[in-house]
């Protein structure tokens, strides 16, 4: 089944809805309850002014948002079915293994670097040791590559965790400045606190605007990796199905010397058992 376009289709719409929902509080940030006319004028938010009010912390959050978008685009390209499991690779390697052309199969895997080829190459390196060693090598390779992919998407989790903390830091700092200016005035008015508090909350808005899509993307790609890893492991087992069948029948391509030595050892054990427990005479009674 070709899933090369499904991640983009499934993720584009939720991401768009998420962005639209995050723009709503920004459009309502400067809303005023004093009257309909005033509310109509203030509803036009100056984004440049918002960025200026956010200050240095707002710029840092903006940089994190750019990094988040770049990571999402990269992951949509690299973490997909055709990228991790190139079409035709499994069939070609399976055919070569059936012909016992293990070096050619390994060359094909190395010439097509991917998640699946790495697993198959690890299994091919252990074919002389039997299917048990092949299976163990593929499991270890799958775990290693899965960990690498999970470390790759971990940056989205870091951005999603760090952004609201930076937003909260900016808000706390803005509140401190607002109250400092308020108490420094000779005749302070409580209404004068509103602009300062509004500016202080901008960084929190920016931080949450980055956190929601970052954590949602992280969860999406984590589940996607789990699904593709399971598919790749199952496909690798099918590639070695004939080799496994040959191993069960005792026809696996192991070196002749170790196999001959094992047969001689088995024959020696049977001889020792017959010597230790001789068969009774024909009369059925021992003399």
Name the residue ranges covered by the structural domains of the chain.
6-254
Question: What separation in angstroms does the CA of 240 have from each of 117, 131, 229, 235?
Answer: 13, 8, 17, 9
In terms of C-beta density within 10 A (0-12 exposed, 13-18 middle, 19 or more buried), how is residue 46 classed? exposed
Asked if pLDDT for residue 35 goes beyond 70, the answer is no
Cα separation of 152 and 148, whole Å? 6
End-to-end CA distance of the chain: 75
Segment 225-284, tens digit of pLDDT: 999 999 999 999 889 888 887 775 555 444 434 334 445 555 666 667 666 655 555 554
Cα separation of 189 and 137, whole Å? 73
> Mean per-residue pLDDT for 148-155?
94
**Residues 6 or more apart from 195 whose CB is under 8 A from it?**
none
Three-state SS at 130: coil
pTM, rounded to two decimals: 0.67
Segment 162-181, tens digit of pLDDT: 999 998 988 888 788 777 77
Give the rounded percent of residues in the chain with a pLDDT score beyond 70.
63
How far is it between the farthest Cα atoms of the chain?
A: 126
Cα separation of 119 and 169, whole Å? 45
Of 2-6, 68-72, 84-88, 110-114, the range with the lowest mean pLDDT is: 2-6
Angle at 53 between CA 48 and CA 58, to 5 degrees: 85
């Amino acid at each position: 089944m070709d899933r090369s376009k499904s991640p983009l289709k499934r993720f584009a719409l939720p991401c768009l809805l998420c962005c639209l929902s995050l723009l709503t509080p920004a459009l309502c940030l400067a809303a005023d309850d004093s009257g309909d006319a005033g509310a109509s004028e203030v509803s036009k938010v100056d984004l440049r002014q918002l960025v200026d009010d956010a200050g240095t912390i707002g710029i840092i959050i903006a940089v994190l948002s750019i990094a988040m978008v770049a990571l999402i685009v990269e992951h949509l390209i690299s973490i997909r079915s055709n990228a991790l499991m190139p079409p035709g690779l499994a069939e070609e390697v399976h055919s070569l293994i059936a012909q016992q052309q293990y070096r050619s199969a390994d060359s094909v895997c190395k010439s097509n670097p991917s998640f699946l080829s790495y697993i198959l190459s690890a299994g091919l390196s252990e074919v002389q040791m039997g299917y048990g060693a092949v299976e163990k090598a593929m499991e270890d390779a799958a775990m290693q590559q899965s960990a690498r992919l999970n470390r790759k998407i971990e940056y989205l989790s870091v951005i999603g965790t760090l952004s609201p903390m930076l937003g909260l830091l900016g808000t706390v700092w803005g509140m401190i400045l607002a109250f400092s200016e308020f108490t420094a005035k000779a005749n302070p008015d409580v209404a004068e606190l509103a602009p300062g508090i509004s500016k202080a909350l901008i960084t929190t808005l920016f931080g949450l605007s980055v956190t929601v899509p970052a954590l949602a993307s992280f969860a999406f790609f984590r589940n996607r990796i789990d699904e593709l890893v399971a598919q790749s492991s199952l496909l690798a087992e099918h590639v070695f199905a004939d080799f496994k069948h040959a191993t069960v029948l005792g026809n696996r391509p192991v070196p002749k010397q170790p196999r001959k030595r094992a047969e001689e050892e088995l024959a020696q054990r049977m001889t020792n058992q017959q010597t230790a427990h001789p068969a009774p005479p024909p009369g059925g009674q021992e003399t």
